[in-house]
């Protein structure tokens, strides 16, 4: 049955791609005395409300959106998660 699903897309810089924003956060944490932070990667969370016939369909359709627009596979990885409830 068709209903609206809440879907999270987490987009992060791909492994090997320099992430200057993450690196700046890491340095700032060091300045604040937080030691032992070896790496920070800064990405974005995109939350969608998607109408679909089931959680799998919502996920599949969101993955298609990621391939086409939401993420750039040359520089970014993404993870799609359909939220419960």
Residue 26: closest CA among 36, 37, 16: 37
Compute the distance between CA of residue 50 and CA of residue 43 in angstroms, rounded to an integer: 22
Residue 48: closest CA among 67, 65, 31: 65
Which of 2, 15, 20, 36 touches other proteins (CB under 8 A)? 20
Interface positions, 48-77, toward other proteins (CB under 8 A): 69-70, 72, 74-75
Q: Decide if residue 37 touches other proteins (CB under 8 A).
A: no
Q: Decide if residue 21 touches other proteins (CB under 8 A).
A: yes
Number of residues near other proteins (by CB under 8 A): 11
Residues that bind other proteins (CB under 8 A): 13, 17-18, 20-21, 24, 69-70, 72, 74-75
């Amino acid at each position: 049955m068709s209903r609206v699903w809440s879907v999270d897309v987490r987009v992060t810089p791909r492994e090997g791609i320099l992430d200057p924003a993450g690196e700046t956060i890491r340095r700032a944490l060091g300045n604040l005395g937080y030691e032992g932070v070896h790496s920070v990667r800064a990405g974005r969370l995109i939350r969608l409300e998607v109408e679909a016939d089931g959680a799998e369909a919502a996920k599949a359709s969101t993955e298609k959106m990621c391939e086409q627009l939401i993420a750039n596979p040359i520089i970014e990885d993404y993870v799609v998660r359909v939220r419960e409830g």
